[in-house]
Structure 1
Amino acid sequence: MSKINPISGFPEFLPSDRIVEQHFLDVIRETFELHGFASIETRAVEPVERLSNQGEDADKEIYGIRRLAATADDDSGANLGLHFDLTVPFARYVLEHSGKLAFPFRRYQIQKVWRGERPQEGRYREFTQADIDIVDSGELPNHYEVELPLVIADALRKLPVPEFVIKVNNRKIPEGFYRGLGLDDVTTVLRIVDKIDKIGPDKVVERLVEAGATDKQAKLAVQLADISSTDTSFVEQVRALGVEHPTLDEGLEQLGAVMAAAAEHAPGLLMADLRIARGLDYYTGAVYEIYLVGQESFGSVGGGGRYDALASDGRTTYPGVGISIGVSRLVHRLISLGLLKGSRSTPTAVLIALTAEEDRAEAMRTAAALRQRGIPVEVAPAAAKFGKQIKFADRRGIPFVWFSTDNGPEVKDIRSGEQVPADPATWTPPGEDVRPQIEALEENS
């Protein structure tokens, strides 16, 4: 048999860690539904033309697909690529099904996405995202830009996640500021300034000058990126830089409204941070990045923003705003730091022991009775000595072993050694033992 070589960037969990991930997915899904978001799933592929030209070197990251047996003149899979996020396919979905959707349309989507980038800690080529978006027909009220981070915060606060902050900006602020400076190639400036955390402010100034900015323009662009606040004081800080432009005014007003509303509903949740830009070109208003406090160097574990022109059929435009949680990125980070683990590697709560193979039929009946009451059960794979079966259960973290004795059935808690009579029609394990639990460090629980 040939040696199996792992493929980097395609993470796979062991069973106990998969239990952690599934818990996160369940809580996120339930929270999204509590807030009225409907579930959809889109196909894995989109036309490359639709996926490309979205910024952030998207063209280089798209995985194209084709049949291995395709001939040169076979175009059955031509120009199709795996989606690199869930927003672009969602925009297509809205256009395709607009006649059957009720607007404003609130959707959530939890799926795999693929990016052909260099794998490193927290960056994968295949990973799971959990998105929520609200899309409307024609106009989208700005109050949704406050609602979405509140929903995300509700989900994260139900999970064993360390303290987090959602940083927010408005793309109109840097755009208006740069135009007010006389820098009209906004996209280039945004992409250079977006690297400030990686290369530092001095290098950003150098690159801006190389791109055509004056030294003064470049330094003012960096000064804008240094502004942050947990209230609306960022407005005065921007005004103090002395740059004026109508688009800048609009962005400051919109972000100020978001921060004021957030201060009322969730004080301290949002931080206005004017270096947040998001690399994808379709964002037009509010943009968000989610960070674990004290682990900002790891990068964001989620983000999103407003997009006003991504979905349009030429007659009607469907503006939207959305945020995603990078589930794979977040869960892998917490597990790798030793902050989380599953309490066992299997959902099984009870192992039914076998003294002899002829007892299997009765054991199967017992298992069925317990499962009818929602207790996860499995029957021992083979008859063996009790000690061996207890070791089998212990290795997998199964807390209870069910025995047939001369006095009738009994169940043993193999952690404490306590063994008591049990009736499959009435016996129930403690609530915390029915399903695997997520074990966290005390300060994060």
Structure 2
Amino acid sequence: MTRPTPLSGFPEWLPAQRLIEQSLIERIRRTFELHGFAPVETRAVEPLDQLLRKGETSKEVYVLRRLQADAADATDSGLGLHFDLTVPFARYVLENAGKLNFPFRRYQIQKCWRGERPQEGRYREFYQADIDVIDRDGLPNHYEAELPVVIAEALAGLPLTFKMHVNNRKLSEGFYRGAGLADPMAAIQAIDKLDKIGPDKVAALLAETAGATEAQAKACLALAEISAEDGSFAEAVAKLGVSDPLLDEGLAELTTVIETGREHAPGLLVADMRIARGLDYYTGTVYETFIAGRERFGSVCSGGRYDNLASLGDETFPGVGLSIGVSRILGVLFGQNALSVSRPTPTCVLVALPAEDDRPECNRIAAALRARGIATEVAPAPAKFGKQIKFADRRGIPFVWFPGAEQQVKDIRSGEQAAADPAQWTPPAADLYPVVG
């Protein structure tokens, strides 16, 4: 058999990296729950017509067939793996509306699959961590200011500086209406490409798709240049001389978001008029988060307000959500060797095995330690204690337990050894579980 080669875009972390990943996921989960978000997990597959109904591209969807042997049978080709968690959650709400209490605060941490071009920090299989607040018929705007604060707490402690760029679709749409553009949505989608294709091509796109004159395109690009970390952005927008009731509404909502962020998550939020989020289901505040100094990796936490994504007849379920790209952040951290873990195994204690006949007693010692929350394993085979200590050292296990009439435990890093009782001994808190730093 030839040596297998990795599949591009499908990361498989080493144990130490997986421990870091689990630590980050646990921190995110704990933060979400502290803010009252309840856990949800949706199925991995969705009907294609649901996945693609809000403007996503079919080229990025992994389509499922029932069996490889049935590759010629397209009966199941109407299913695809979800590539984000927002659309599946909207479907979940519609199916369970009678069982949920609104406003419903949900978090969801699971894998997604997207068939895009793999690159550093961007994968085809990846973890996302989402929070949403969704309500029936109406959703107060204060949630749009609350969610960035939750994200700031979830990502605190990482050796990275995050900047969340925020805009409001009402602001953008109202400005384009007030400027006289025939198709404000086309203008939003054109501005969304500004960082990718530059202002000249965006101006041409505005003329082609939104019917913009040269003066209108210039005004749209001038709006996109406005940014501020406080409410001063509203004055800059007013100076452009465009007026519209929807524009005023968007300015007021965005000001609330920015000022709330300044109070509860200082340094995180910046009002940025070029943030558009091209997906057509966003209706209010939109967010894109970048790692300071590493903006080339793209947004690592995005989302926004949506009023019409989940609807059933005349009943709507408006919501607002943010999604953390867990794997994308980890890819950046691992690529920069910015995080490490104190040991690559959860095992805290290795129980030495003098002889195979001693295994039952060693198993009892290990069980007693595990019952008290201390990760323990028994040596795989009897050998000289020096060899078993070297085995523990290679694994990164800090303590070796010696059975016998007078049991002893040794810290193999310092060489300190003392008598111990498995029903009472406790390692230092820093050694109980691998520490990420």
| TM bracket, shorter-chain basis | over 0.9
Which residue pairs with 2:398 in the alignment? 399
Which residue pairs with 2:358 in the alignment? 359
Matched letter for residue 19 of structure 1: L
Q: Report the Cα offset of residue 215 of structure 1.
A: 2.4
CA contact (8 A) 1:51 1:58 kept: no
Deviation sequence 1:212-243 (CA, Å, 0-9, x none): 43322222211111111111111111111112
Q: How many residues of Structure 1 are paired with residues of Structure 2 in the alignment? A: 435
Which residue pairs with 2:273 in the alignment? 274
Superposition pairs for residues 212-251 of structure 1, below 5 Å?
212-251=211-250
Q: Tell me, in whole angstroms, the C-alpha distance in 1 between the residues paired with 2:119 and 2:73.
A: 38
* TM-score after normalising by structure 2: 0.95
When residues 64 and 74 of structure 1 are mapped into structure 2, their CA distance, relative to the original with a 3 A threshold, is closer
Q: Tell me, in whole angstroms, the C-alpha distance in 1 between the residues paired with 2:208 and 2:105.
A: 44
Q: Which runs of 5+ in 1 are unaligned?
A: 440-445
Matched letter for residue 334 of structure 2: I
Which residue pairs with 1:25 in the alignment? 25
Q: Which runs of 5+ in 2 are unaligned?
A: none
Q: Tell me, in whole angstroms, the C-alpha distance in 1 between the residues paired with 2:271 and 2:422.
A: 57
Which residue pairs with 1:40 in the alignment? 40
Superposition pairs for residues 329-408 of structure 1, below 5 Å?
329-404=328-403, 408=406
Matched letter for residue 120 of structure 1: Q
Which residue pairs with 2:134 in the alignment? 135
CA contact (8 A) 1:224 1:275 kept: yes
Matched letter for residue 414 of structure 1: I
Matched letter for residue 197 of structure 2: I
Percent of counterpart pairs with the same letter? 63
CA contact (8 A) 2:163 2:290 kept: yes
Q: Tell me, in whole angstroms, the C-alpha distance in 1 between the residues paired with 2:80 and 2:408.
A: 57
Q: Report the Cα offset of residue 96 of structure 1.
A: 0.4
Superposition pairs for residues 256-275 of structure 1, below 5 Å?
256-275=255-274
CA contact (8 A) 2:300 2:325 kept: yes
Which residue pairs with 1:288 in the alignment? 287
When residues 424 and 256 of structure 1 are mapped into structure 2, their CA distance, relative to the original with a 3 A threshold, is same
Structure 2 residue matching 1:108: 3-state secondary structure: strand
When residues 346 and 71 of structure 1 are mapped into structure 2, their CA distance, relative to the original with a 3 A threshold, is closer
Which residue pairs with 2:81 in the alignment? 82
Match of 1:432 among 426, 430, 433: 430
Q: Report the Cα offset of residue 140 of structure 1.
A: 0.3
Q: Tell me, in whole angstroms, the C-alpha distance in 2 between the residues paired with 1:248 and 1:74.
A: 48
Structure 1 residue matching 2:415: 3-state secondary structure: coil
Q: Tell me, in whole angstroms, the C-alpha distance in 2 between the residues paired with 1:184 and 1:121.
A: 39
Match of 1:163 among 150, 161, 165: 161
Superposition pairs for residues 71-150 of structure 1, below 5 Å?
75=75, 77-150=76-149
Structure 2 residue matching 1:290: 3-state secondary structure: strand
CA contact (8 A) 1:106 1:133 kept: yes
Matched letter for residue 417 of structure 2: Q
CA contact (8 A) 1:232 1:260 kept: yes
CA contact (8 A) 2:120 2:331 kept: no
Deviation sequence 1:175-209 (CA, Å, 0-9, x none): 12222223233333223322222333333334434
Structure 1 residue matching 2:403: 3-state secondary structure: strand
Q: Tell me, in whole angstroms, the C-alpha distance in 2 between the residues paired with 1:252 and 1:137.
A: 25
Which residue pairs with 2:420 in the alignment? 422
Deviation sequence 1:13-48 (CA, Å, 0-9, x none): 100000000001111111111111110111111111
Structure 1 residue matching 2:324: 3-state secondary structure: strand
Q: Tell me, in whole angstroms, the C-alpha distance in 2 between the residues paired with 1:355 and 1:287.
A: 63
Q: Tell me, in whole angstroms, the C-alpha distance in 2 between the residues paired with 1:63 and 1:187.
A: 28
Q: Report the Cα offset of residue 71 of structure 1.
A: 7.1
Q: Tell me, in whole angstroms, the C-alpha distance in 1 between the residues paired with 2:188 and 2:7.
A: 34
Q: Tell me, in whole angstroms, the C-alpha distance in 2 between the residues paired with 1:420 and 1:72.
A: 68
Q: Tell me, in whole angstroms, the C-alpha distance in 1 between the residues paired with 2:146 and 2:412.
A: 48
CA contact (8 A) 2:152 2:265 kept: no
Matched letter for residue 388 of structure 1: K
Query: Which range moves more in the overlay, 84-93 or 414-423?
Result: 414-423
Matched letter for residue 258 of structure 1: V
* TM-score after normalising by structure 1: 0.94
When residues 395 and 186 of structure 1 are mapped into structure 2, their CA distance, relative to the original with a 3 A threshold, is farther
Q: Tell me, in whole angstroms, the C-alpha distance in 2 between the residues paired with 1:209 and 1:135.
A: 37
Q: Tell me, in whole angstroms, the C-alpha distance in 1 between the residues paired with 2:338 and 2:148.
A: 24
Query: Which range moves more in the overlay, 142-151 or 291-300?
Result: 291-300
Deviation sequence 1:47-98 (CA, Å, 0-9, x none): 111110423x4322111111223376662x2411111110100000110000
Q: Report the Cα offset of residue 375 of structure 1.
A: 0.3
Which residue pairs with 1:443 in the alignment? none
Q: Report the Cα offset of residue 210 of structure 1.
A: 4.7
Deviation sequence 1:370-392 (CA, Å, 0-9, x none): 01110000001111122221221
